């Protein structure tokens, strides 16, 4: 089972060309993913001075017709002077059956003098090779460490809620909105976290829960031991990333899924975005 994650910057490459066709071609050249998690996807948002405002959700659906697309909008607002609304968020595409979908707004506390915007996480549960698996696609705030920390804590709290409800199931009906919905504790959390491994937010993400149990592990370190993370941004775009290449895109996995991780790889060759695509390979037969 292969999961790919990529902040595609609205399809804008370092050459300033906006092309989702190029994005799709690079993904297919890199691997044959079962699930694709993309960040910075827009609908009807002007992307240049000429007012180019495509529906990238529709375009991605056409480029990946064998996948089902779930779009999680962090922002939805009216286009001035019209009834059209623009959206900005994360797109998750799956060719595995999707069993459930949840959208989670992330904390955005006020912070004077700091540039920030709403962020969100899209959670889908797919029918994996052996059993269902939750995959969360997210994009954290860049400018505010306070907000990133709260966003980390929100996703950790979410994982605790899911595990608690699995251990102590609520009463359910056979139909209607109270019926049983697939939502397992096994989880892959991926995206652009806008944090580096030296940041406190990264350490918090990997911290044990209140009972001392492991909650998430960094998939890269599971298969690459003490090797530093390959860079996921700053390789080609030295304007937005003047400090040079580094890693801020990750796969975090729950303990049972950690046992199945066989590969994490970053494509460091493409300049089709300011970020690099990365892929996670799981041995589905090992998921117990």
CB burial readout 131-147, b (16+ within 10 A) else e? ebbbbbbbbbbbebbeb
pLDDT tens by residue, 15-48: 999 999 999 999 999 999 999 999 999 999 888 7
pLDDT (average), residues 225-241? 95
Per the CB < 8 A criterion, the answer to whether 156 and 215 are in contact is: yes
* Beta-bridge partners for 250: 191
Higher pLDDT, 287 or 138: 138
Nearest to 71, CA basis, from 34, 43, 106, 31: 43
Q: How many CB atoms lie within 10 A of CB 232?
A: 25
Residue 7 pairs with which residues in a beta bridge?
Answer: 39
Query: What is the token pair recorded at 145?
Result: 């460490």
Q: How confident is the model over 45-104, as pLDDT tens digits? A: 888 777 778 899 999 999 999 999 999 999 999 877 777 899 999 999 999 999 999 999
Reduced to 3 states (helix: H, G, I; strand: E, B; else coil), residue 200 is helix
The listed CATH number (3.30.70.260, 2.60.40.1840, 3.60.10.10, 3.40.630.10) that belongs to domain 2-167+180-286: 3.60.10.10
Task: Inform me whether the pLDDT recorded for 285 exceeds 70.
Answer: no
Please report, for the chain, the start and end positions of each structural domain, with discontinuous segments joined by +. Answer: 2-167+180-286
- Beta-sheet strand order (sheet of 68-78): 68-78, 85-94, 35-43, 2-7, 278-282, 261-266
Tokens of 158: 């979410």
Q: Output the pLDDT for position 284.
A: 63
> Is there a contact between 27 and 33 (Cβ–Cβ < 8 Å)?
yes
Closest C-alpha to 254, from 220, 216, 206: 216
pLDDT at position 155, please? 98
């Amino acid at each position: 089972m292969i999961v790919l994650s990529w902040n595609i910057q609205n399809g804008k490459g370092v050459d300033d060309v906006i092309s989702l066709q190029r994005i799709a071609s690079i993904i297919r050249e890199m691997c044959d993913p079962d699930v694709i998690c993309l960040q910075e996807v827009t609908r009807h948002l002007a992307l240049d001075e000429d007012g180019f405002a495509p529906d990238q959700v529709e375009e991605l659906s056409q480029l990946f017709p064998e996948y089902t697309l779930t779009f999680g909008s962090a922002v939805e607002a009216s286009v001035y002077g019209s009834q059209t609304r623009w959206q900005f968020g994360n797109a998750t595409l799956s060719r595995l059956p999707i069993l459930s979908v949840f959208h989670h707004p992330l904390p955005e506390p006020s912070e004077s003098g700091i540039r920030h915007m709403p962020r969100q996480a899209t959670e889908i549960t797919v029918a994996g090779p052996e059993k269902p698996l939750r995959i969360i696609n997210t994009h954290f705030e860049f400018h505010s460490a306070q907000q990133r920390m709260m966003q980390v804590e929100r996703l950790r709290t979410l994982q605790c809620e899911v595990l608690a409800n699995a251990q102590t199931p609520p009463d359910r009906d056979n139909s209607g909105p109270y019926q049983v919905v697939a939502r397992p504790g096994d989880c892959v959390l991926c995206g652009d976290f806008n944090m580096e491994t030296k940041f406190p937010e990264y350490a918090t993400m990997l911290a044990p829960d209140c009972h001392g149990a492991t909650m998430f592990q960094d998939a890269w370190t599971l298969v690459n031991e003490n090797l530093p993370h390959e860079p996921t941004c700053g390789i080609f775009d030295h304007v937005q990333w003047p400090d040079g290449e580094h890693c801020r895109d990750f796969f975090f996995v729950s303990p049972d899924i950690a046992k199945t991780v066989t590969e994490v790889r970053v494509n460091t060759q493409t300049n089709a975005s300011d970020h690099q695509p990365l892929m996670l390979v799981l041995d589905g037969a090992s998921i117990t």
